[in-house]
Chain A
Amino acid sequence: MSKNRVYNVLIVGVGGQGIILASDVLSLAAARHGYDVKKNEIHGMAQRGGSVSSHVRFGKQVSSPIIKLGEADVLLSFELIETVRYWPFLAANGKVIINDLKILPPAVFTGQMQYPTDVIEKVKERVPDTIVIDAQAVADKLGNPRGVNIILLGMMSKYLDIPVADYEAVMKEKLKPKLVDINLKAFHEGRSLAGA
């Protein structure tokens, strides 16, 4: 990675999934490493079970707080169909990480529409090395069922030029003391699952 360009990370999912905490940790770690950082997400009404996206940009100097369509280097999606909704943000050679989870939107749970069944297939047609993981299963196995966001952050960290020590320092500083150890464990578990 070049230190002279700006890296764009888009984290998407559904209100209440812990996306903002994950993007906070990422932004703080990037800042700690010495990057200029901007991050943006929408609060308020959108958070009531609505679709959520958090834009994180870091590099030598960052102007816009939102990522241009087609310029996300990484798309981390906490929910299957949200991947598709935000796909136009992905750069042609971007990395995709998907949490294998369906959260049914109103039109589906009220029986008006079907939840698409071919999301992973369609995504892999476009980006064959897409990583798909059932992060909830990993979190449950770790005995930290609320650790999904940090596991996914750990996986993504493998593809970003920010040292592990910066994430660790941020988590130690930002999280409640009793949550530090289990989340450091979740982070490293995610990192190891991302492969080489």
Chain B
Amino acid sequence: MKVLLSGNEAIARGAYEYGVRLASAYPGTPSTEILEYIGENFPEIKAGWAPNEKVAVEVASGGAFGGARSMAIMKHVGLNVAADPFMTLSYTGVNGGMVIVVCDDPDMHSSQNEQDSRHYAKFGKVPCLEPSDSQEAKDIVGEALRISEEFDTVVLLRSFTRVSHSMSLVELGERKEGPKEVGLKKDPAKCVMLPAMARRRHPIVEQRMKDLATFAETFPYNKVIMGDTSLGIITSGTAFQYAREAFPEASFLKLGMTWPVPAQMIRDFASKVKRLVVIEELDPFIEEAVRLLGIKVEGKELTGFLGELSPEKVEIALKGASSAKSAGAIQMELPLRPPNMCPGCPHRATFAALRKNKAYVSGDIGCYTLGALPPLNMLDHCLCMGAGIGIASGLDRALGELAQGKAVAVIGDSTFFHSGMTPLLDLAYNGGSTTVIIMDNRTTAMTGAQNHPGTGLTLRQDPTIMVDIEKLGESFGFKRVQTINPYKVEDMEKLIKEEMATPEPSLIIARAPCALLKTGRILEDKPLRIKNDVCMGCRTCISTGCPALEFVKIDKSEWKEGEKKRPGYTKINEALCVGCRTCMEVCRFDAIEEAS
């Protein structure tokens, strides 16, 4: 029976059908739904959210060392966090099959960079497989596990936003357990990477890559589809679908394994076609491998290095124009519609308080990164998960008085557990005057409300520990740890002012659940309204960027005798307002009240 599954659901289904016993992940778009789907549908798989991707890979490694088929799942930048165990896992090998699913995000739909994960396969000397739709995504999980066991190596499975979040039809199968016997086995020469052991493992790694290159020649997912030989396209993943859409008659060498590449297959294919082009997402990875074989090929000079491919991009790159009979465009000045913090978002209140203090704010990845956008304009740095604390502390230490009392770090709760604890410890240890605000909204909000070690619940909603951030800060040695409800903007503003002025490190926990959460809700969901006769149109509330507010302009010519002269007034959309009162807190004219 065929069912419609997203690429992520298909990977999860693959984990189930091919006997994965253990799965670990940290949420990250576009990879999040894989572990969610496992959690919801497959109790046979032990699965849980890890605090970060490094831990996810280590946990999955443990399973694999013990002979259990295991899977670690992350977005592309997650593999940077997990790079340390990943690189040496290549040396130890695995035992039970192990797959690291890594989801690239060409065009950065929801990411801070568009790195190409295949470089990690080459760097770490492990194979990389790439599916191009949901059926292949499921099947290739099985292939990856088989290769992992046969060649004793971790395998990278590279997905893309347009595979992970596209749905297509998938044939379902039954679950089969992995072939390895599970159990504890002492094997220090293989599993303890002391220099002497690692030196003996390295030649095994090099030989493995040679063996894998030979295997790639007969790997069934490296496929030649011969058509018109005037154009030959070497491609992989989503790029294959776009190229086939644009050039259905062409000849294709579709690589399901992009590292190592099948050299002889490429040579044979190249010899049969007149024009040879590589079409691939992001970097010229296959292209460079083809060039190293001494074969003349076109590639990135046609498609470019930036963003994601599409059928028309491929068509235009190769033919110079699209064949579509388009309706064209409508000329109109269109306001952009960037993502925005939701009505009632507690982060908005925190940013309003920071703005009153003219703070210079280092942040990182989460919904609060949107605080960088107008009209808030309140985030000055976003580098990677957890980086804000180190950056604020670095500014404070390097710039002295120029930064003291100004540089503040903000970080979300899930992000704090991911990689904020170590820079917080650094701050306590090395000192300084930095103020850190943990914007604790009780969930991993940006990726759609996943649990984490601070929520008291697991992936499968079972009760578990709930980290006490206050006690954690105290145990690190922070003398100034304070918790506040960020919706009390005036109190928040005062507290931030005091802590910024203090010459020692301080920790503020701004705690209020995400406005989208139904549990633990502190919002009263009572909409507010404007006292229209009181509003002066000063736009202070508007400058918080709340989508429930609207500024209505009044032209000078409309000013009436005896009425106040004002540039306009605010209107509150009661259907959107959840009554967080941030606008009421910042209003200087007492012009906002509860709607009756």
Contact = CB atoms under 8 A, between A and B. Distances in A.
A42 B165 contact: yes
A44 B242 contact: no
Given A46-B110, A91-B325, A106 B373 contact: yes
A136 B367 CA distance: 29
Nearest to A75: B327
Contacts of B238: 65
Interface string A87-124: 11011111000000000111111111101101100110
Contacts of B338: 50, 105-106
B194 to A, nearest CB: 42
A94 B327 CA distance: 8
B161 A42 contact: yes
A81 interface: yes
Contacts of A44: 29-30, 32, 109-110, 446-448
Contacts of B110: 42-46
A68 interface: yes
B310 A66 contact: yes
A90 B337 contact: no
B335 A122 contact: no
B375 A110 contact: yes
A69 interface: yes
Interface string B340-364: 1110000000000000000000000
Contact of A68 (B161, B322, B543, B549): B322
A42 B109 contact: yes
Most chain A beta-carbon neighbours within 10 Å: one of B328, B339, B447, B568:
B339
A189 interface: no
A105 B246 CA distance: 35
A19 B442 CA distance: 27
B370 A48 contact: yes
Interface string A57-97: 00000111110111100000000011011011011111000
B446 A45 contact: yes
A39 interface: yes
Nearest to A51: B337
A65 B133 contact: yes
A68 B337 contact: no
B336 A64 contact: no
A28 B167 CA distance: 10
Contacts of B419: none
A68 B313 CA distance: 9
A40 B169 contact: no
A166 interface: no
Contact of A64 (B4, B161, B311, B325): B311
Contact of B329 (A45, A65, A82, A88): A88
Contacts of A65: 133, 162, 166-168, 238, 241
Most chain B beta-carbon neighbours within 10 Å: one of A46, A51, A109, A116:
A109
B334 interface: yes
A4 to B, nearest CB: 13
A108 B109 CA distance: 23
Contact of B551 (A62, A84, A110, A119): A110
Contacts of A71: 324, 326
A36 B169 contact: yes
A40 B165 CA distance: 6
B550 interface: yes
Contact of A50 (B311, B340, B447): B340
A31 B446 CA distance: 31
B402 to A, nearest CB: 32
Given A31-B4, A37-B167, A49-B339, A81 B327 contact: no
Contacts of A111: 539, 542, 551, 553, 568
Given A38-B133, A69-B326, A90-B326, A105 B168 contact: no
A65 B333 CA distance: 29
Given A63-B245, A66-B310, A50 B327 contact: no
Nearest to A31: B4
A18 interface: no
A37 B180 CA distance: 37
A43 B29 contact: yes
Contacts of A69: 310, 312, 322, 324, 326
A68 B312 contact: yes
Contact of B166 (A40, A68, A115): A40
B555 to A, nearest CB: 12
A80 to B, nearest CB: 11
Nearest to A49: B340
Interface string B87-103: 00000000000000000
A85 B332 CA distance: 9
B416 to A, nearest CB: 19
A116 B324 contact: no
Interface string B161-205: 110011111000000000000000000000000000000000000
14 contacts: A39-B4, A42-B165, A46-B339, A50-B339, A50-B340, A63-B245, A64-B245, A68-B324, A69-B322, A69-B324, A87-B329, A106-B373, A110-B551, A113-B335
What are the 9 closest A-B residue pairs judged by CB atoms, nearest first? A70-B326, A44-B29, A70-B324, A44-B110, A111-B551, A65-B166, A50-B339, A48-B339, A64-B245
Interface of B: 2-4, 29-30, 32-33, 109-110, 133, 161-162, 165-169, 238, 241-242, 244-246, 248, 310-312, 315, 322, 324-330, 332-342, 367, 370, 373-375, 446-448, 539, 542-543, 545, 547, 549-551, 553, 568
Interface of A: 14-15, 27-28, 31, 36-51, 62-66, 68-71, 81-82, 84-85, 87-88, 90-94, 104-113, 115-116, 118-119, 122-123, 126-127
Given A48-B340, A70-B322, A111-B542, 8 more contacts: A31-B4, A37-B169, A45-B109, A65-B166, A70-B324, A81-B334, A106-B375, A111-B551
